[in-house]
């Protein structure tokens, strides 16, 4: 029994990677979890793993979809205590080739989606004195050639995290973020990076990380879950990156 028993959490990007492991860890600690994402099958697969996990196919960059997410969470747990904004998107490339569509996609996934879901969940989080946990990136604070707009979108989410923490503290809502380094999540493949290039990128990342390996989803998820636990922490960005941010 923990402070999460019978609480209801919404986890975006919950079908794979960090989101999936976060959902499973939350359930282990007694929470009810709604996993959200754009692909039905991975979500359904997670939901089949435990009766306290439900799923909702949705694009949280769409206001109508966000409304359905809130309804599904209330139907599943009759309350909303935790919002984990894990879903995101990556597009790499040099400045000379970037398009407005790519920039809009990055900010829609990494900034607009978390904003819409946090806003929709706000009255329920206020009622339960709940928490929001955003998932950002080491590169929000670390220069990254050919990933500048991704880094900028994640930096925006970190800024929102701190601002929301101050804004929502009078309602008892805590807002924090976890900032992962390179992690085995499939994000590179999903962004369309060729397989051969992915292996090159991974090798370079391992060379740059002081602890000598890329992260696993569980390395990050355990810190997300820790920030979901009731406590006295708000407005913080927790780096989980094998030391990459201090190199």
Q: Are 231 and 238 in contact (CB under 8 A)?
A: no
The stretches of 129-172 forming alpha helices (DSSP H) are 148-168
CB-neighbour burial class of residue 149 (10 A; exposed 0-12, middle 13-18, buried 19+): buried
Compute the distance between CA of residue 205 and CA of residue 17 in angstroms, rounded to an integer.
18
Q: Which residues are catalytic?
A: 150
Question: Which is it for strands 174-180 and 237-240: parallel, antiparallel or unpaired?
Answer: parallel
* Half-sphere exposure in the Cβ direction for 99 (13 Å, CA): 4
Q: Where are the alpha helices (DSSP H) in 49-112?
A: 63-77, 100-107
CA 60 → CA 36, 68, 111, 116, distances in Å? 8, 10, 10, 7
CA 48/CA 119 separation, integer angstroms: 29
């Amino acid at each position: 029994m923990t402070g999460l028993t019978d609480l209801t959490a919404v986890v975006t990007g919950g079908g794979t990677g960090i989101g999936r492991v976060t959902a499973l860890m939350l359930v282990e600690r007694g929470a009810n979890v709604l996993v959200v994402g754009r692909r039905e099958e991975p979500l359904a697969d997670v939901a089949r793993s435990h009766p306290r996990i439900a799923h909702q196919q949705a694009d949280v960059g769409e206001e109508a979809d966000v409304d359905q997410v809130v309804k599904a969470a209330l139907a599943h747990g009759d309350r909303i205590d935790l919002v984990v904004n894990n879903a995101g998107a990556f597009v790499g490339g040099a400045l000379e080739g970037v398009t407005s569509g790519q920039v809009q996609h990055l900010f829609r996934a990494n900034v607009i989606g978390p904003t819409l879901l946090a806003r929709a969940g706000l009255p329920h989080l206020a009622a339960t004195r709940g928490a929001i946990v955003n998932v950002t990136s080491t590169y929000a604070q670390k220069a990254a050639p050919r990933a500048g707009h991704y880094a900028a979108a994640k930096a925006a989410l970190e800024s929102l995290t701190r601002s929301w923490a101050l804004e929502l503290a009078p309602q008892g809502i805590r807002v924090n973020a976890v900032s992962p380094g390179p992690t085995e999540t499939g994000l590179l493949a999903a962004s369309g990076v060729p397989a051969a290039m992915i292996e090159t990128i991974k090798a370079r990342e391992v060379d740059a990380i002081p602890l000598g390996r890329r992260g696993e989803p569980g390395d990050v998820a355990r810190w997300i879950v820790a920030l979901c636990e009731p406590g006295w922490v708000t407005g913080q960005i927790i780096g989980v990156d094998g030391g990459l941010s201090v190199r």
